[in-house]
Amino acid sequence: MTRKLTLNAFLLTTGHHESSWRRPESDPHAGTDIGHYIHLAQLAEKAKFDAIFFADGPLLQGSVAQRPASILDPLTILSAIAPLTTNIGLIATASTSYNDPYNLARRFASLDIISNGRAGWNVVTTAGDAAAQNFSQPKQHDSSARYARADEFLTVAKKLWNSWEPDAVIADKNSGKWADPAKVHAAEHVGEHFQVAGALNVHRSAQGHPVLIQAGASEAGKDFAARWAEAIFTAHQSFESARDFYQDLKVRAGTYGRSADSVKVLPGIVPILGSTEAEALELADSLDELILPEYAKKTLAQQLHVDPETLKLDRVLPDGLEKVVSKEQSTSRRDLILDLGYGKNLTVRQIIRELGPGRGHLTFTGTPEQLADRIEYWFKAGAADGFNIMAPVLPSGLEAFTEQVVPLLQDRGLFRTDYEHSTLRGHYGLPIPAVEHGELIR
C-alpha cells in the first residue's frame, strides 16, 4: 500500500498564535464553547483528517491576561464530539503523574467505546512544581521517577484494557449468559507504584485499546516513546533537526523489538497562508503586532529558567543561558529557544515574535502550494510521517488549510480522498493488539 500522510488537527481555544483571540473574527470565549469544538471536529473530518488532538495540563498555565486560559477537560470535550462524528480520531492528553491507572484506563476505554474505536491518549508525565502543588505535593518528582511511574502506569493500563478478551461478551438471552467469565481476567498487578486487582469494568473496544501517543523530547522521553508510543508528537524548526529526530526514534523503536512502521513521527506546523507570499506575510505581521511583549517576556523567561528582568526586549539573549538548568522544567523547549536566539542572533523581541505562532513549533508563512511542497519534502525525505496542523487562528486557519492545502496533497497522491477505516488504529495503519489471558502479546 502506498504510504500516505498522517494529518491531525491540533486544536487550541481560538488558535495557536498567542494573539489569535484579539483578531476581529475570533470569539474570545470560544475555548469554553463546545459548539466551537464540534464545528472544528466536523471540519477536520470533512477533510478526512486522521484525528483531532487536545493538549492539556493539570494547572492554570501562563498569565490569564495573555490569552484565553479557561480550558475544558479534553476527555469531556471529546465525549461530546464522539456521537457527532463518525470517522475522525479523538486524542486527549492526560498525565500519569496525577492520575491512577484504573480510573484513567476506564475513562479512555469509555471514550474508545462510545466512539467505536477512535480514541487516542497523549501520555505526559507533567513537569513542574506548580502542578505537583495542585495534588498535595510540595514539589514534583524528578524526571527518572516520573518516567518510572509512567512506565508502570502504562503496564497496568494495558493489563486493564486487555482484561477482557475480544469475544468475552456473549449477550445470549436464551442461555442467560451475558459474558463468559473465563474470558475476563484480573490484572493482579503488584508493583512499586501501583497495586491493581482488576479486571476493568469496561469491555474491549473495536480497536483493542486506545492508541498511545507521546511527546517527550528528552533522552528519557525518547526512550519512553520508543518503548510505548504508537505516534510521537514533536517540535522542530528545521528539516535537519526533524530528520535526525525521526531517524533516532525509528532506531530506538527497533531496540525494543518494534518495527519502524509501528510508530509515527508527527511534527507540529503552524500554517499562515495567503494567496501570495506578500498576503501571507501581511497576515503574519498583523498577528505578531497584537502580541503584548510584557506578557510574552514573562513566559519566555519561565521557559529559559531565568528572572524576567534578565531579558531586555531589544537586546540579544545573555550569554551562558545553556548552563541555567531548572529541575522544575524540561530542557527540550529551552534548547529550541536558545537555538533560535543564539543561532540567528535574535533579540528578545524577535524571539517572542518567532515563538508567538506556535511556541517553538515550525511556523510556515506562504502560499498553499509552497506549504504543500514543504510537507511533501519532509514526508518523502525522511523527516516526518505526517504533521499536527496547528492553525494560528480558529476556525479560519483550519478552514484555509482544509480548503486550500488538503486538495493539493490529495492531487499529489499524498493524502486520502476518503476514509478507508473507521478506527484511529486503522487510519494510522496500526494492527489491533492481540491478547491472550489478558496480557498483551508483544
The yes-or-no verdict on residue 38 having pLDDT over 90 is yes
Question: Would you state the cell numbers that stand for residue 29, as one nine-digit string?
Answer: 470565549
Higher pLDDT, 18 or 150: 150
Q: What is the mean pLDDT of residues 246-266?
A: 94
Q: In the prediction, which pLDDT does 91 show?
A: 98
Q: Where in the sequence of the chain do the CATH 3.20.20.30 domains occur? A: 6-273+359-440
Query: pLDDT band for position 326 (50/70/90)?
Result: low
Q: In the prediction, which pLDDT does 298 show?
A: 77
CATH of 6-273+359-440, one of 3.20.20.30, 3.30.300.160, 3.40.50.1970, 3.40.50.620: 3.20.20.30
Q: How far apart (Å, rounded) are the C-alpha atoms in residues 139 and 131?
A: 9
The yes-or-no verdict on residue 92 having pLDDT over 50 is yes
3-state SS, residue 271: strand
The yes-or-no verdict on residue 224 having pLDDT over 90 is yes
Number of Cβ within 10 Å of residue 181's Cβ equals: 8
The yes-or-no verdict on residue 339 having pLDDT over 90 is no
**Among candidates 211, 223, 106, 98, which has minimal Cα distance to 156?**
106
Query: pLDDT band for position 329 (50/70/90)?
Result: low
Query: pLDDT band for position 439 (50/70/90)?
Result: low
Q: In the prediction, which pLDDT does 409 show?
A: 98
| Cis geometry, peptide bond prior to residue 199 (ω within 30 degrees of 0) | yes
| Cis geometry, peptide bond prior to residue 267 (ω within 30 degrees of 0) | no
Q: In the prediction, which pLDDT does 216 show?
A: 77
Q: What is the mean pLDDT of residues 244-254?
A: 95
Share above pLDDT 70 across residues of the chain, in percent, rounded to a whole number: 95
Query: pLDDT band for position 441 (50/70/90)?
Result: very low
AA letter at 224 = F
Average pLDDT over the chain, rounded to an integer: 90
Q: What is the pLDDT of residues 373-386, one digit of tens each?
A: 999 999 999 999 99
Share above pLDDT 90 across residues of the chain, in percent, rounded to a whole number: 68
The yes-or-no verdict on residue 338 having pLDDT over 70 is yes
Q: Lowest mean pLDDT of 2-16, 141-155, 276-290, 424-438, name the range.
A: 424-438
The torsion angles phi and psi of 417, rounded to 5 degrees, stand at -100, -15
Q: Lowest mean pLDDT of 21-25, 119-123, 301-305, 314-318, name the range.
A: 301-305
Query: pLDDT band for position 315 (50/70/90)?
Result: confident
Q: In the prediction, which pLDDT does 299 show?
A: 76
- DSSP element (H, E) containing 439: strand 439-440
**Among candidates 109, 187, 192, which has minimal Cα distance to 147?**
192
Number of Cβ within 10 Å of residue 258's Cβ equals: 18
Q: What is the pLDDT of residues 97-147, one digit of tens each?
A: 999 999 999 999 999 999 999 999 999 998 888 888 988 898 888 888 999
**Residues with Cβ < 8 Å from 417, sequence gap 6 or more?**
48, 410
In the chain, DSSP finds a helix count (H) and a strand count (E) of 15, 15
Higher pLDDT, 326 or 123: 123
